[in-house]
Chains A and B, each alone.
Chain A
Amino acid sequence: MFSRRDFIKQGLIPVFAGSAVPSVFANGLAAAAADAPNAAPSDRVLVLVQLAGGNDGLNTVIPFGDGAYHDARPTLRQDQGVLALNGQLGLHPNLKGMKASWDAGQLAIVQGVGYPSPNLSHFASMSIWETANVKSGIGDGWLGRYLNYLDKVGESPNHALEGVSAGSLVPPELRSSTPVTALQSLKTFRLQPVNEHGTQVDVENPLMKFYGAFKGATPAPFGALLDATLNEALQASHALQATDATYQAKATYPANSPIASSLKLVAETIVSGLGVRVAHVTLGGFDNHAREKPVHDRLLLDLDEALSAFMQDLQGHGLGDRVLVMTWSEFGRRVKENGSAGTDHGTAAPMFLLGAPVKGGLYGEQPSLSALDNGNLKFTTDFRSVYASVLQGYLKAPASELLGGSYEVLPLLKA
């Protein structure tokens, strides 16, 4: 079994005659169509939805039955239209799609998720979540380590599309020595031709030689990065060009919504059978220190509509059983609202796990709104426990090895 790096080193990639595509790409659609409800672990896809800026957990899964919530949030409280999950807790009124998933047993909510000695810096806390390293936030991304593991055990599909993120940057949780792909659109993900009198000039082969030679010539670390990236990019773009015509969305995604476009792009890569294992999308704008309500209401509506379309699209393609969506945010927000009708940085917050692989329900424990730490919630479930549950229960990977420690595995997922 070749590892991906061997594949590159041995120069197997640079041959891109016409539309010939390595056979590893060819079986996607057929395999997808034949998929039984119990997809093999190697066919499973994890989609991370990052709610960047610190999502207000208390106004997402709302403890409407707790008087302390109403006291702490004189202007921000949601007191109308909360979608009750039980007598105490309910979803934000704009999370109608999530509520439908809940009713169908396809939404798991883990309450009070955080970590010891919470850091109230966006960036420090993001790094902690991304690396699962609560001491320093330094190191490979936790899913980058998972992709390395796949490479090591020979389960890697040998190209950079097993880890994709929608956008122009690769998020830190996917980073490791295993290359992943940032995608902005499948159509533009290719090297545009250089033409001369209507004939295409070969620039790919010379450029690959240039980059390969430069890697050897420069002591700077970027030579190797540029060379590997060009190879990955050309290889992945050839794979995409051979498949992108086949995708037709089976749901109507909201217009003018970057998160919907991102999720549609992820659906396209999954449906096209390109071997994606882990995907990442970001919805930003949650750092609502002032005038939070209209902004947060709109963000949750945007999220809900986009995710509903995404799930419907995948189900329409018969892929619902293979895809798990998980949301995360670097922290929740202060229990008591501030004087600007907003909330300052906080700590624990709920996480959503969405999709057919999920065993729906509430997990963990809702933190107390009165026994606070400096105005902030005390976490009740360690986020690494959620990661462990997904790695072990869904991706069938050795969680304690990948997380550098043992954490309780919650029964969030079907076998």
Chain B
Amino acid sequence: MDHAPIATPPAARSRPIWQRPVSRRTVLATGAAGATAAALAALWKGNDLSQVLDRVRDYTHGYQGALRTPRVRAAHLLRRAGFGATSAELDRYAAMASATMAESVLNYQQTSNAALEAQLPALDLTSEKGPAAGAVQAWWLQRMVQTTRPLEEKMTLFWHGLLTSGLDKAGPAQLYAQNQLFRKMALANFDELLKAVSKDPAMMVYLDTETNRKGKPNENYARELMELFTTGIGHYTEDDVRESARAFTGWTLTGGKQLRFTTDSAFNRRFFDNGPKTFMGKTGNFTGDDIVEMLVPLRATAERLSTRLFAFFAYPNPEPEIVRHLADTFQQSRYNVGAVVREIFAMDAFYAPKAYRALIKSPAELAAQTLRATGSDARAYGTAVSASAAMGQALFYPPNVAGWPAGSSWINSSTLLTRLNFVNAATQRMRPSSSTATLEQLTNTLVDGSMSPTTKDGLQAFAAAHPQNQAGLLFMVLATPEFQLN
């Protein structure tokens, strides 16, 4: 431990935290010191010696150094920026430099998704009521599994969790349209996205802007726009809520269908409150777009969105220095989300030991990555949608307007059993011929070949004891604690 500070050269110390690589020696030294203490503590508990030795071995293996390998870096990036990778994809990405790898993920517009589009079942977008909820859910999960543009789908999931709307109020065709909007504007400028979302029929129903009329303001959207979508609590007053609600009047749903089924909105001057509003100290005849244009440049918005993006892709609770840098990027790029995401993938912090397996796979991620490993037929997506719901994430049914709390809330006794039962069922459904991979190939693709020695031994023992049970072996790999994390 004493030599750890010296191991960091003076030049590196002046570099910002997100560009500071951690040497393998430091990692191992820290790990070994902790391991010794833990092993001694275990001895005191009176466990027998072989158990203690197993513990020491588990504590000291090179787990944290895994991200130094190109193939593991590729796997890490593709788990975070997408929904995992096949062995062939890992080979392809591992041959690239890190920067090239990230650019390849970011510039997805250049990759055709025609094969996916051709495979997707047609959704009924013409009838009065539109598609069934289950059809839209399965459609999206299939996209996550089969897309050739993983970041596009991942950002769509990000926006669904932040600028959220739900089927408990809005209709399936509306959620489908909102989902396509998120996909189209996945890396757009944030002010433009928010202006579009303010007029999006699903959002207008979910947060009641469709009822917000001159003389009858409805505060729901205005409040959540500030509390959840931009500045966060503490940066506005109750008067700001009341006044900005007036600015968002005038937008209505059109098309003569029932509210839940209409997918068109339009501005109607008659319903707009044309009077002066006082918002955050300024007075004018503001529209909703004006409110968005006042909220997005605020530093609180930049920091909040940056924190949220970094926590989604790298690890929770980023250091203030990282948030500051990303918020600067956001503001200097005219609020461009793509610029912030590009910056995150370029940070050494993204590949730091601290980032490795620092996130719990969300149910949608677990479902999609599992189906990528087992193969999937048309029925598998609907099944996976139900399982994802039981694991705590029903797509298009966020628990409330704040989206899913994520992090440790994904794991409780019920959801963990559901995760294990889902991967069990998925492996049981495999055709016997569909997976012939060896244990080593499976673990290299699915858990970076990086497991505790106990798990490695246990999997080998399972493979030896059950040589014909490929489904059981894949289940054991997918059921490891390593696979539950991202």
Contact = CB atoms under 8 A, between A and B. Distances in A.
Interface of A: 9, 52-53, 120-124, 160, 168-170, 179-184, 188-192, 194, 196, 201, 203, 206-207, 209-223, 225-227, 229-230, 232-233, 236-237, 284-285, 287, 289-291, 338-342, 344-345, 374
B50 interface: no
16 contacts: A122-B400, A122-B402, A168-B412, A168-B418, A181-B413, A183-B414, A184-B418, A201-B466, A207-B479, A209-B458, A210-B458, A217-B58, A220-B356, A290-B220, A338-B218, A344-B218
B356, B401, B420 — which one has the most chain A CB atoms within 10 A of its CB?
B420
A291 B260 CA distance: 14
A211 to B, nearest CB: 5
A339 B452 contact: no
B238 A374 contact: yes
Interface string B459-486: 0011000101100100110011110110
B238 to A, nearest CB: 6
A120 B400 CA distance: 15
Contacts of A120: 223, 238, 241
A289 B220 contact: yes
B343 interface: no
B351 to A, nearest CB: 15
B26 interface: no
Interface in B417-458: 417-418, 420-421, 424-425, 451-455, 458
Given A213-B453, A342-B218, A188 B63 contact: no
Contacts of B208: 289-290, 340, 342
Nearest to A285: B168
Contacts of A207: 420, 476, 479
A168 B417 contact: no
B64 interface: yes
Given A236-B413, A338-B216, A216 B59 contact: yes
A398 B401 CA distance: 36
Nearest to A204: B420
Given A194-B472, A284-B400, A374-B238, A216 B414 contact: no
B94 interface: no
Interface string B38-82: 100000010000000011001101011000000000000000000
A248 B119 CA distance: 47
Contacts of A210: 451-452, 454-455, 458, 479-481
B227 interface: yes
B77 to A, nearest CB: 18
B413 A182 contact: yes
Interface string B391-415: 1100000011110010011011111
Contact of A53 (B213, B216, B400, B418): B400
Contact of A121 (B233, B405, B412, B466): B233
B415 A168 contact: yes
A206 B216 contact: no
By size class, the interface of chain B is 35 or more
B435 to A, nearest CB: 15
A201 B455 contact: no
B211 interface: yes
A124 B234 CA distance: 11
B357 interface: yes
B212 A237 contact: no
Given A9-B45, A339-B211, 17 more contacts: A120-B223, A121-B233, A168-B390, A169-B399, A183-B414, A192-B421, A207-B476, A210-B455, A210-B481, A213-B58, A220-B485, A226-B411, A233-B413, A284-B400, A290-B208, A341-B211, A342-B211
A190 B468 CA distance: 26
Given A201-B469, A220-B357, A289 B168 contact: no
Interface string B377-394: 000000000000111100
A188 to B, nearest CB: 7
A171 to B, nearest CB: 10
B374 to A, nearest CB: 14
Contact of B416 (A53, A201, A229): A229
Contact of A345 (B223, B356, B451, B468): B223
B407 to A, nearest CB: 9
A169 B390 CA distance: 10
B469 A196 contact: yes
Nearest to B405: A169
B373 interface: no
B391 A168 contact: yes
Contacts of B59: 216-217
Contacts of A123: 227, 402
A284 B356 CA distance: 36
B216 A225 contact: no
Contact of A170 (B61, B409, B476): B409
B47 to A, nearest CB: 9
A227 B31 CA distance: 20
A213 B61 CA distance: 11
A263 to B, nearest CB: 17
Contacts of B64: 219
A344 B220 CA distance: 7
Contacts of B357: 218, 220, 222
Given A196-B466, A218-B357, A222-B360, A227 B211 contact: no
Nearest to B46: A10
B358 interface: yes
A220 B317 CA distance: 13
B463 to A, nearest CB: 12
Given A214-B452, A344-B220, A181 B412 contact: yes
B191 interface: no
Contact of B481 (A189, A191, A192, A211): A211
A85 to B, nearest CB: 32
In order of increasing CB-CB distance, the 7 nearest A-B pairs are A339-B216, A213-B454, A340-B211, A233-B413, A214-B481, A213-B452, A182-B414
A312 B391 CA distance: 32
Nearest to B420: A191
Contacts of A227: 481
B215 interface: yes
A226 B481 contact: yes
B315 to A, nearest CB: 9
A189, A216, A342 — which one has the most chain B CB atoms within 10 A of its CB?
A216
A180 B54 CA distance: 30
A217 B400 CA distance: 36
A99 B424 CA distance: 48
Contact of B452 (A189, A192, A217): A217
A104 to B, nearest CB: 35
Contacts of B458: 206, 209-210
